[in-house]
Structure 1
Amino acid sequence: MPLSKRIRYEAIICCNCSDEQLSAAGASILSALSEHFGGASMLPCTGAWAANGNDVANRYRSVQVHSGVMILLSVPQHQADQAYQVLTTTIALAVRQHNLPARYIHVDGFEARAFHFDVDTMSLCGARDIAPVTMVDVLSGQ
């Protein structure tokens, strides 16, 4: 099975603002990332953090819970550094442009494998040596 080794970034933006503000900021982030890397995704989320969350502590205080969005970006490994720079810069610009009261953005990055398949043919895109599996095969347990 052909696989594409990639780096996947997940950036979480949570703050006390309207859903409309978050959606608008997210849409501008997605547009910019898609222009650079061909696509990105956004999911709604809820985040909680403590006022002293940046400290190493036994106990955290003043926990706040807010709505947010998670931005997902997957890129080939050779684009990892560039993608991180574009991702963080794009988010910072969107936070300012849409007046989001967000300061700290959580970003996870990890190795991933990516696959794309064609829903009409049920074959992997780019796969030449794999026979497509049909819906009948799946439903019959083959």
Structure 2
Amino acid sequence: MSSFTVDIVTPDGVIYHHQAKFLVASTQAGSLGVLPNHSPLISPLNIDAVRIDLTEEDGGSSDWVAVNGGIIEIRDNVVSVLANSAETEHNIDVSRAEEAKERAEAKIQKAKETKDHDIDLGRAEIALVRAVNRLNVANKRGRN
């Protein structure tokens, strides 16, 4: 079976590097599935989980990474994800993600109730999506 390399990079450096047999990512054009020898492509990513199916030599399980947008590039059997932030399922601090979710929900509720223009509703909604994404990925632990 052939495979490809997956690199997920943030401003802090490489957070994920592995061989894979399949990858699924959510792009702004829709869901993208990647197999070995995929055609070259560059696309913006949504805030969502990236699923990486490992090769049989690596146990054949799936890894999950919470990606907060960015860009995916596919070229020469290398999938590169460049993101402002991303966390593997094992590195997510669940209590911190839950606190972020609660803070975002409270800001959204306050903005809607008081019509407070000082609260940036758009930023609060994005913060909520990011927190929920992180929690969803953290919940994948051990389910491979």
Q: TM-score, normalised by structure 1?
A: 0.23
- Flag the structure with higher strand content: 2
Higher RCO structure, 1 or 2 (CA under 8 Å, sep 6+)? 1
Q: TM-score, normalised by structure 2?
A: 0.23
